[in-house]
Amino acid sequence: MDECQQTSGTDHYEQRARPNDVKIAVIGMGYVGLVSGACFAESGIDVTCADIDERKISRLNLGEIPIYEPGLDALVGMNLEAGRLTFTTDVAAAVRSSHVVFIEVGTPPGDDGSADLEQVLAVARTIGRAMNEQKVVVTKGTVPVGTAAAVRATIEEASAFPVHVCSSPAFLKEGNAVDDFMKPDRIVIGTDSAYAADTLQDLYAPFVRSGHSVLMMDVASAEITQYAANSMLATRIGP
Ligand SMILES: NC(=O)c1ccc[n+]([C@@H]2O[C@H](COP(=O)([O-])OP(=O)(O)OC[C@H]3O[C@@H](n4cnc5c(N)ncnc54)[C@H](O)[C@@H]3O)[C@@H](O)[C@H]2O)c1
């Protein structure tokens, strides 16, 4: 797929679940995962949010938000009450019950400054063991080029079900993250799968009604987009 091409991608259209039936899992309830899960639920999608941190999940099930982000507590509260948002420590069950799985765990810098992918690959191993049907898997973190390929290889070591691994980086500013997700300047989707392109475009459609388009590109281009955007921002605030 050419960079920044809008796809029509209808080859698998008939086979995929209709948008309202699509269930998603968000794995990793940090800053990015919690905002994404709450915003997707607000758009009408059933979202299962999973994290291995039992204390964090217990608090979220009580509607207690571990971070301060304007508007987030209301979104979580309303969608918990509506039954569209659930929180669990059972990551495998969240994967099994979902058509689309977003990996939003941490990627802390290692000793040499490169992103430590241990959490991402741990989730990929869990997804591989839990696969029970064709799924779309999306990496949303700040990850180096080649991460989606590594995630795909890890999942395929444990499963023969088709898996479409995509990259869709998060462009969220702390303090404005809910607004950034709901009314994004841009949504980037990196995939070589028409099935995944269609599925993700449907999921993101409610967030681009104000006219901003979804930028479709190949996986590696999407992976480098976050680094390019961060570098550009750093040069703007530099001396
Ligand atoms: N924080 C930001 O402003 C920001 C903005 C844009 C992009 N990003 C990127 O988004 C990604 C996520 O960042 P964050 O700040 O939300 O992360 P975070 O470190 O705050 O949270 C990660 C969460 O993942 C959970 N986790 C770890 N291993 C797990 C596993 N195996 N299964 C399930 N859950 C697991 C942890 O318990 C934790 O709650 C990173 O790649 C980051 O670089 C962050």
Q: How does pLDDT run across 188-202, given as a tens digit for each residue?
A: 999 999 999 999 999
The HSE-up count of residue 227 (CA atoms within 13 Å, CB side) is 11
Name which residue sits closest to atom 25 of ligand 1, judged by CA: 28
Q: Name the residue with higher pLDDT: 196 or 235.
A: 196
Residue 174 Cα: closest atom of ligand 1: 3
- CA–centroid distance, 34 to ligand 1, in Å, is 9
Q: Which residues line ligand 1 (CB under 6 A)?
A: 27-33, 50-53, 56, 91, 104-107, 119, 122-123, 141-142, 170, 172, 174
Residue range 58-87: mean pLDDT, rounded: 95
Interval between CA 162 and ligand 1 midpoint (Å): 26
- Ligand 1 centroid from CA 33, angstroms: 7
- Dmax over Cα atoms in the chain, in whole Å? 54
In this predicted structure, what is the pLDDT of residue 4? 40
Whole-number Å distance, alpha carbon 201 to ligand 1 midpoint, is 23
Distances 58 to 87, 99, 173, 217 between C-alpha atoms, Å: 8, 25, 26, 38
State the pLDDT at residue 211: 72
* Residue 31 CA, closest ligand 1 atom number: 16
Distance 120 CA to ligand 1 centre (A): 9
Sign for the pseudo-dihedral over CA of 192, 99, 199, 141: negative
Average pLDDT of the residues in 136-162: 96
Pick the atom of ligand 1 nearest to 141's CA: 41
- Smallest CA separation from ligand 1 atom 9, residue: 141
The pTM score is 0.91
Q: What are phi and psi of 115, to 5 degrees?
A: -70, 130
3-class secondary structure, 129? helix
Q: Looking at the predicted structure, is the pLDDT value of residue 13 above 70?
A: no
